[in-house]
């Protein structure tokens, strides 16, 4: 059960990446959680499993630090061409993603966003652009699915929002039957958004690529931005480009930190 892994990150959102193309590796929720543990394991926000695919160059499975498997991870997707060593078409549970290496990172075609209430998914029908719901003093949010579900709040003062209390409350609200990634955003300039994300299954994160994509889509729909948008997260900046009816293109850094070897039977 000895195997190699790479430690990588995108804007501080860090991953243990395992190449499973040469043989099956049984990853259960408990094993993923044990590997992700920062005290008794290797430590990461997400465990990434690269495998074979009949539809693309490789497949990518994504496990959050709580052991749950999710459909998409934008920051991890940017790491895949760096890990594989070339541009790649990637099969994920959220669809096919085309990732191309650029200087210092990658540019990824994240596909088209889903905006219908049942594609988010929400528990019942409503307008996803101005949802007639809120929590405490938060403004009415926007809902977007970019391979995984997101809800976005555009706040006047991001520093006044109790993200660590409201994030898990909203993530697990019955309105979101698959739970939800919670994005708290503030416009800080022309085509420039500051963003903090409470990530489903991982908690407060330094960066969330799909969150940046969903927030930029929401801002375009609300007519808050027009054109490529800089999204500033605690870990750094991403550039998101989307026009209604088109695909989302996300560009940003990806970093290889080190390689290691582990006995997976110990997890």
Residue in 3, 54, 55 with CA at minimum distance from that of residue 25? 3
User: Which residues 6+ apart lie within 8 Å of 26 measured at CB?
Assistant: none
- Supply 205's token pair: 């994160």
Which 3 state secondary structure label does DSSP give 242? coil
44 counts as catalytic: no
Alpha carbon distance 11, 260 (integer Å): 21
Query: Which of the residues 44, 79, 155, 208 is marked catalytic?
Result: 208
Task: Count H helices and E strands in the chain, helices first.
Answer: 4, 17
HEC assignment per residue over 92-151 = ECCEEEEEEEECCEEEEEEECCECCHHHCCCCCCCCCCCCCCCCCCCCCCEEEECCCEEE
155 counts as catalytic: no
According to DSSP, the residues that pair with 186 across neighbouring strands are 194
Radius of gyration of the chain (CA): 18
> Which helix (DSSP H) or strand (DSSP E) does residue 256 occupy?
strand 255-263
Query: Which of the residues 44, 73, 79, 213 is marked catalytic?
Result: 73
Catalytic site positions: 73, 208
């Amino acid at each position: 059960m000895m195997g190699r892994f790479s430690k990588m990150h995108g804007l501080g959102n860090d991953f243990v990446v395992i190449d499973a193309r040469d043989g099956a590796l049984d990853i259960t929720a408990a094993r993923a959680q044990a590997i992700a543990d920062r005290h008794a394991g290797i430590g990461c926000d997400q465990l990434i499993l690269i495998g074979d695919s009949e539809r693309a160059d490789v497949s990518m499975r994504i496990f959050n630090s709580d052991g749950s498997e999710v459909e998409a991870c934008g920051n991890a997707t940017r790491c895949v061409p760096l890990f594989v060593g070339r541009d790649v078409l990637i099969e994920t549970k959220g669809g096919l993603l085309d990732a191309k290496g650029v200087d210092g990172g990658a540019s990824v075609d994240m596909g088209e966003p889903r905006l219908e209430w049942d594609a988010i998914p929400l528990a019942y029908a409503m307008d996803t652009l101005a949802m007639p719901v809120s929590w405490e003093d938060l403004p009415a949010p926007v809902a977007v699915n970019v391979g995984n579900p997101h809800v976005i709040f555009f706040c006047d003062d991001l520093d006044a929002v109790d993200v660590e209390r409201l994030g898990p409350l909203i993530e697990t609200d019955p309105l979101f039957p698959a739970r939800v990634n919670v994005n708290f955003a503030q416009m800080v300039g022309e085509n420039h958004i500051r963003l903090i994300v409470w990530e489903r299954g991982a908690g407060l994160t330094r960066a969330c690529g799909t969150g940046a994509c969903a927030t930029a889509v929401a801002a375009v729909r609300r007519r808050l931005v027009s054109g490529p948008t800089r999204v500033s997260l605690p870990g750094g900046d991403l550039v998101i480009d989307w026009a209604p009816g088109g695909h989302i293109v996300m560009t940003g850094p990806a970093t290889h930190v080190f390689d290691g070897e582990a006995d997976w039977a110990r997890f």
